[in-house]
Chains A and B, each alone.
Chain A
Amino acid sequence: MSSGPFGARIPRSEDAALLTGRASFVDDVQRPGMLHAAFVRSELAHARLRGIDVSAARAMSGVLAVLTAEDLGDYWQPGPLLVPPAPIAGLTFHARTQVPLARGKVRHVGEPIAVVVAENRYRAEDAAEQVVVDLDPLDAVVDVAAALAPDAPLVHEDLRSNLAAHAVQTKGDYEAARHAADLLISREFLYDRGVAAAMENRGIVADWDERSGHLEVWDTTQAPIPIRNGLAALLGLSESQVRVIAPFIGGGFGPKIMMFYPEEVLLPWISMRLRRPVKWIEDRYENFFATTQERGQVHEAEIALRSDGRILGVRDVFIHDTGAYNPYGLTVPINTQCTLLGPYGVPNYYSEFRVAFTNRPIVTPIRGAGRQHGVFVMERLLDLGARELGLDAAEIRRRNFLPPDAFPHDHEILYQDFAPLVYDSGDYEPALDRAIELIGYEPRGSSAGPPTPGRQSPAEGRPDRSFPGSRLRGVGVVSYIEGTGIGPYEGARVRVEASGTVGLVTGVGTQGQGHFTSFAQLVADQLGVEVGDVRVVTGDTREFHWGTGTFASRGAVVAGNACHAAAVAVREKILQRASELFEVAEEDLELAKGRVGVRGAPERSIGLGELALRSNPLRGAVKPGTEPGLEATSYFGPARGATASGVHAMVVQVDPETAMVEIERYVVVHDCGTVINPLIVEGQIQGGVAHGIGNAFFEELSCDADGQLRNASFMDYLLPTAMEVPPIITAHIETPSPLNPLGTKGVGEAGAIPVAALFAQALEDALREYAPGLEIREIPLSPLRLFELIEDARARVARPPGAEGTP
């Protein structure tokens, strides 16, 4: 497969439309007579909703409707539980899902209370300002740990507490491991919230055509087919009456697969009532409240180590903040729970989590989807253990890696897809070696510790750590795994058209991952056509009926294998028809340059378009048992996810007096199984790392005790720019997944997952002499927060030993 388009570094087919401004995003959709919606949202995090006065707004010219929960009648209902909890024994789970418009009380800032529909957006916003909302403030539940205190105010008063879920998963016997351990390390870790910050905010255009009885919806969703199915059910329409189009989407990263956002439910209903197309486009300010967020976990964790650094067991007890509602079930905390185990052999594991409702925006997966929390906890525990044992960071990982012959490896707990957490394949040590080679020098162990057995001392040849000027230099190396490419399934249809071009249709949406190209490569590879001759359609429910969506780094795995399977089926049809035509065995045929012909006899060949035409005759009969045309539809559903993995390493410089940080060098060695397009994989990794850098050091949702966000703008919520994101050196290791024919594993989220853990380790390394005892146990950092941690560590050293305040 390697000589064809499969695996080739091909620039993308979709670029031309995007580069010239022709690509249509949701906000680019213009319909005749289109109205515009604006939302009135709660300005308080927790309050009784005493009344809403819409009279002034309704009286304004150009305003067609102002709707509150009462106006919705029976249509008002809480959203579905999108992901029911995995069947974990002894599980407690309370579902409370978001509502279209608040009724009775509001539970987070930005919760929609009313919607205004007007002739243009400017007018709609004018009118929204005239809606008077009478809110009676309640104490807000903001801190996730305090949320579970017995006297905490209740987010959902029909529950006795703010506990949304409680789950325990175990493997082996942690207590026994604890007693056998030479070293126990216990710490608390905090991983706070962030936003996805796709450059395109959310948006919806709904257009109900009364005459044809058809509803068209353009939606910035990662999951057009489930949205279509859900809207049809909600609106009492058949699925064939509803067409959902997710055209070009300006970045997804997770929050665009929340079902259903209030606006998604309301816009189609409004269009049907007013019999006019209606558009709503979220603005950036709204995006900070109305779009789902992620993170917010507090961990109490302990690792039991042998004196040689081998892991005997891990105990982790954490609280997860799900925000005001929990439509996504337990996906995020289960990802945390499972991903903590990393690429390591962990014979004994006790993991317990509680999920708390708070008066903050809803939490759903964002790139990494809780995995980074688990990685942060495990990698930090290993670093602290290594420090105590005098091992270097690479060595303690090396000693605990699952060996290449350990696969499939069963961790004996359940993953978010309800399947057992079984790693399919992997080979971790070569990735570590390659990362160390590429980063330029090895991490050091504790200067007090013994030399690492069997390894060269890294001291020689290592650059001087005292950087010119006042800056200090540190190095870090971390490893991680990522469960990717989970089910249930995706499908694809491949059709050779009379023109000779090949149509490929699949149900997954695309938000920039290069599906138009990668999927085309898979088909071109099978049919012997140019990649540019495969016309890919995704994200339009009229084109393909079945599918789930783009999430969990599953496009290349699940949809990719479906595309491949459909292409293989079409290839078989081509060979069969050509074999009849030329009266030769199929083995004597070859497909190349858009033609199929007899190998070694170039004059005996036929263009695929002409063969397609012959397969769809206007006279005569299509033979019984065959189908017209050269077309096939196939589906692929993996038994469980494919386990991608990687090692990240970086050299960082810190100015200890300002706590400003500059990344000098960043290396990613990644294993996503078989690579379809290395150019696209590099792009995914680089973007993921940039996202991770933001989460680790720049992006923080600063929330006050009343649940008010203090930095809801790009002026104050700092996304990393080209000045902060360094060049990222990437290398690949390929351990193909045995769970799918292509051997692919996912890559979309990988880059973001280990970055925080790497920051923490590299910064501690840089500051080891300047701030002895510095421990970074929280994310996100910022220059200010790092400065405080440095000063605290220095103050502790200055105090006499035995004084209070040790962690």
Chain B
Amino acid sequence: MTQTLPVHVTVNGEAYERTVPPRLLLSDFLRHELGLTGTHVGCEHGVCGACTVLLDGDAVRSCLVFAAQVDGAVILTVEGLAGEEGLHPLQAAFHEAHALQCGFCTPGILMTLVAFLREEPRPDERAIREALAGNLCRCTGYQKIVEAVQIVAARQGPDAGGADGRSRTGKAE
């Protein structure tokens, strides 16, 4: 455990420099090194999706990535979703539709769906369910999560290019 590796990483628009043991998971790095505890750990084997973050714009399971692998990367976590103007449209829709109960899986679901809505701004129900199928939720039965995504999709203009007008740098603009 003597060996450590340097990590320079931008998370939610802020630059961090740390040295980490090679086996440190990105989820633990975010939560315990950077104090960004909004990213939750539900299974640590990549199934439940609670730990999903955006890594250079892509939704990834932070429990399946080593912190040492994100050197030079740009990460967005749930803490970076809301901006000065308030909740992200998807967060607001989750509130409106009662798309969360205990809220433990919610950060991972939000990050998964933010990435999804960028690719597919006006999805139908089937597509939403497929996008959501990699995240487990024991409280809601998923229905109101689907409704929340539909609310966001309905509010986007027909030529919307993405869900939130944010760039892939992960920084709110």
Contacts and interface: CB of A to CB of B under 8 A. Distances in A.
Contacts of A723: 129-130, 133
B95 A19 contact: yes
A121 B44 CA distance: 14
Contacts of A714: 43, 45, 47-48, 136
Interface string A585-596: 000000000000
Interface stretch (A609-617, A677-685, A788-796): A677-685
A688 B141 CA distance: 7
B138 A687 contact: yes
A18 B140 contact: no
Contact of B100 (A19, A28, A200): A19
A187 interface: no
A284 interface: yes
Interface string B119-148: 000000000111011111111111111100
Contacts of B139: 199, 251, 512, 683, 687
B102 A514 contact: no
Interface stretch (A8-16, A160-168, A443-451): A8-16
B133 A722 contact: yes
A21 interface: yes
Contacts of A251: 101-102, 104, 138-139
A19 B45 contact: no
A25 interface: yes
B107 A713 contact: no
Interface stretch (B29-37, B155-163, B164-172): B29-37
A93 B140 CA distance: 38
B60 interface: no
A19 B103 contact: yes
Interface string A375-401: 000000000000000000000000000
A543 to B, nearest CB: 20
A122 interface: yes
Interface string A660-679: 00000000000000000001
Contact of B38 (A22, A121, A250): A22
Interface residues of B, number: 59
Interface string A447-478: 00000000000000000000000000000000
Contacts, number: 179
Contacts of A721: 132-136, 142
Contacts of A197: 138
A20 B138 contact: no
A16 B77 CA distance: 16
A455 B36 CA distance: 62
A297 interface: no
Contacts of A24: 37
B43 A687 contact: no
Given A19-B110, A20-B81, A722-B133, A25 B104 contact: yes
A284 B44 contact: yes
A200 to B, nearest CB: 4
B42 A284 contact: yes
Contacts of A687: 101, 138-141
A15 B104 contact: no
A680 B98 contact: yes
A58 interface: no
Contacts of A28: 31, 37
A618 interface: no
Nearest to B39: A21
Contacts of A25: 37, 40, 104
Contacts of B44: 283-284
A313 to B, nearest CB: 37
B78 interface: yes
Given A15-B94, A21-B79, A511-B102, A713 B142 contact: no
A18 B103 contact: yes
B82 interface: yes
The secondary structure that dominates the A interface is: loop
B26 to A, nearest CB: 14
Which secondary structure dominates where chain B touches chain A?
loop
Q: Max chain A CB contacts within 10 Å: which of B21, B24, B38?
A: B38
A718 to B, nearest CB: 10
Nearest to A122: B23
Nearest to B48: A714
B103 A512 contact: yes
Contacts of B35: 30
Given A250-B103, A513-B101, A15 B45 contact: no
A142 interface: no
B94 A686 contact: no
B43 A284 contact: yes
Interface in B1-27: 1, 21, 23-24
Nearest to B25: A122
B144 A722 contact: no
Nearest to B35: A30
Interface string A490-527: 00000000000000000000011110000000000000
Contact of B142 (A196, A201, A722): A722
Nearest to B43: A284
A556 B129 CA distance: 31
A64 interface: no
B52 interface: no
Contacts of A21: 36-39, 77-79, 107
A237 interface: no
A19 B140 contact: no
Nearest to B88: A19
Contacts of A719: 136, 138
Nearest to B107: A21
A715 B47 contact: yes
Nearest to B147: A727
A690 interface: yes
Q: Which of A14, A19, A121, A682 has the most CB of B within 10 A?
A: A19
Given A683-B144, A686-B140, A199 B42 contact: yes
B45 A722 contact: no
A95 interface: no
B91 A20 contact: yes
Nearest to B109: A722
Nearest to B146: A722
A250 B101 CA distance: 9
B152 interface: no
Contacts of B137: 199
A46 interface: no
B138 A198 contact: yes
A755 to B, nearest CB: 11
A19 B38 CA distance: 9
Interface in A24-66: 24-25, 27-28, 30
21 contacts: A12-B95, A15-B95, A19-B87, A20-B82, A22-B38, A197-B138, A199-B48, A199-B138, A200-B40, A250-B102, A283-B44, A512-B100, A513-B101, A683-B101, A683-B141, A687-B138, A688-B141, A713-B43, A714-B43, A721-B142, A723-B129
The 3 closest A-B pairs by CB, nearest first: A21-B38, A250-B104, A512-B102
Given A18-B106, A25-B40, 19 more contacts: A15-B103, A16-B95, A19-B82, A20-B87, A20-B91, A25-B104, A199-B102, A199-B137, A680-B98, A682-B98, A683-B139, A683-B144, A690-B138, A714-B43, A714-B45, A721-B133, A721-B142, A727-B146, A728-B141
Interface of A: 11-12, 14-16, 18-25, 27-28, 30, 121-123, 196-201, 248-253, 283-284, 511-514, 679-680, 682-684, 686-691, 713-715, 719, 721-723, 725, 727-728, 751
